[in-house]
A and B are shown apart, each in its own frame.
Chain A
Amino acid sequence: MSQIETFYDVMRRQGITRRSFMKYCSLTAAALGLGPSFVPKIAHAMETKPRTPVIWVHGLECTCCSESFIRSAHPLAKDVVLSMISLDYDDTLMAAAGHAAEAAFEETIEKYKGNYILAVEGNPPLNEDGMFCITGGKPFVEKLRHAAKDAKAIISWGACASYGCVQAAAPNPTQATPVHKVITDKPIIKVPGCPPIAEVMTGVITYMLTFDRMPELDRQGRPAMFYSQRIHDKCYRRPHFDAGQFVEQWDDEAARKGYCLYKMGCKGPTTYNACSTVRWNEGVSFPIQSGHGCIGCSEDGFWDQHGFYERVTGIKQFGIEATADQIGFATTAVVGGAVAVHAAASALKRAQKKTEEA
């Protein structure tokens, strides 16, 4: 594969100076949580290693992952990231269309058998033999299986590919299924989020390229460097949580003062992502900083956890929408009432028995 250009070649060709290139390498190392000693390693990898061929397929999705990806923050990244990988097939970004695109797809699979990375955005619907998502005249699930067969590894971009997202929300009529439940024989790395943070996406790819292996994954198969802590753990409003200072209404004084959004249903305490550290749009802000609670978009089944503005999850199994607290209070009231009635009956019976004995 020596005929493929290295990243460095591509970058230089695009007029990027070596100084900027080194800057990019050190920023990437910092983003990945690596020490300064890794900067030359990253630079070396980029200078010498052939670009990794990537096939990027789209199933049931909204393309927000791609939108996020192409906005990767560091100024260099937007020029480089798409050149960093050899993106041989991506039906939304590539110039080719129709039969030419499909030909490129087959060609890439043939050429880099067992060496390419399959990036999946969206997921396949399995109901009605996959007919709810047709790409290139065939159900997407077939395309996914075909491309996955010879892939080295699979990246599940976003909540769709990782967990199913909105199309898999109850009752999931199309039976939209996350990638890891369809492809079970390949290493899969989940990069959840709706969409995932751009720097997280590029960071994962850079890591895989630099070290020639998957980053360390947590129990749910997400890269530990970005998903090992909750939003809440690193939230700049955390001191207000610990102090017991909460926003009670969207327009109250506490909201203006930037208190904790816990009571407004912020899902920060249950959401694993890097938003509170990496932030969005070149590190400008993230939802909580903008005054809105986290909706937990990088969590499994986040659409089915009741309202975005409620703290306690709804439980559908109870027919009506109820939360654990409502069920708890209701059960406690019923049991308490039953106990009171039973106590009264017991007292009556005892009195009756005493009268009989007397």
Chain B
Amino acid sequence: MRKITDERIYEPKVRPEEMLEASRLTGDATLEDLESIRRRTSVYVYEAPVRIWHWVNALCITILCVTGYLIGAPLPSMEFSEATNQFVMGYMRFAHFAAGTVLSIGFLARIYWAFVGNSHARQMFYVPIFNLRYWKEFIFELKWYMFLEEEPKKYIGHNPLAHMAMFTFITLGITFMMITGWALYAEGAGQGSLPDTLFGWVLGLVQNSQRLHTLHHLGMWSIVVFAIIHIYAAIREDVMSRQSMVSTMISGHRTFKDDRIE
């Protein structure tokens, strides 16, 4: 095996005038740009299944929140046909149940990917709460958000604050919504059905289905609140942090804006 040395890594394979020729000729590149793109590269963080899951999940959650809200507080009564030919709430509930099923299967697939995917695929499922350093960084990031720090740090995966939010609202939150959701679905599916066998115990726990509905309802609002913060933080980080955010959700690559080591 050939020994890899520093000289070998930095040794240009092309002549200086050929370097990044395309960028110079067609890419609107300045000299500083060239100097920058020579040094900065990206880390492949989110593999395709994780990215597909993210967007499928986002779509499902949107459908679930809209239809879920409208199931609890239906649209104004409408009569464009006989009740036999009109199926507004029926379609609404179908969309809710279909999106709920896709979300559940997606979540199970996501858990599977935590086992077989790269290390970043596991971050969402575990918060190192016993690691003192984690809390120090958590507070640092919190201070960054409170405008008390001049500059944020670099992160490959989620930053400590996002890590906690992701775990609370998605890992725990979606699990809670799936359990209560399937328990509600089990009520319609009937006793002895598969959803009832798996999740019927939840109704036994909270006793009154009205309470179960309320819990599911509150869960939805927590996800709405999360979505607002999540979208805002992603855009803000994309602009103000030292790494890419929005494009990473699409390409999976985390790119960095500087090459400082601190």
Contacts and interface: CB of A to CB of B under 8 A. Distances in A.
A325 B69 CA distance: 9
Contact of B86 (A163, A218, A243, A342): A243
B188 interface: yes
Contacts of B262: none
Interface stretch (B12-20, B97-105, B202-210, B246-254): B202-210
A283 to B, nearest CB: 24
Interface in A120-179: 163
A336 B210 CA distance: 29
A296 B209 CA distance: 10
A115 interface: no
A7 B12 CA distance: 104
B58 interface: no
Interface in B230-256: 232, 236, 239-240
Contact of A219 (B79, B200, B213): B200
B214 to A, nearest CB: 4
A220 B213 contact: no
B201 interface: yes
B88 interface: yes
Contacts of A305: 208, 210-211
A350 interface: yes
Interface stretch (A20-28, A32-40, A201-209, A326-334): A326-334
A267 B210 CA distance: 8
A262 interface: yes
Contacts of A91: none
A270 B232 contact: no
Contacts of B145: 342
B74 A246 contact: yes
Contacts of B232: 339, 342-343
A328 B224 contact: yes
Contact of B191 (A228, A311, A313): A228
A302 interface: yes
Interface residues of B, number: 48
Interface stretch (A56-64, A69-77, A181-189, A234-242): A234-242
Contacts of A343: 232, 236
Q: Do most interface residues of chain B lie in helix, strand or loop, or is the interface mixed?
A: helix
Contact of A324 (B74, B84, B221): B221
A233 interface: yes
A259 interface: yes
Contact of A349 (B147, B208, B224): B147
B120 interface: no
A240 B83 contact: yes
Given A248-B77, A259-B77, A324-B218, A220 B207 contact: yes
Nearest to B78: A244
B208 A300 contact: yes
Contact of B77 (A163, A239, A245): A245
Contacts of A31: none
Contacts of B209: 230, 269-272, 299
Interface of B: 69, 72-79, 81, 83-84, 86-90, 92, 145, 147, 187-188, 190-191, 200-201, 203-204, 207-214, 217-218, 220-221, 224-225, 228-229, 232, 236, 239-240
12 contacts: A229-B190, A239-B84, A242-B88, A244-B92, A302-B210, A305-B208, A311-B72, A328-B217, A332-B228, A343-B232, A346-B240, A349-B147
Given A242-B83, A328-B221, A336-B228, 5 more contacts: A224-B191, A240-B83, A245-B78, A254-B77, A311-B73
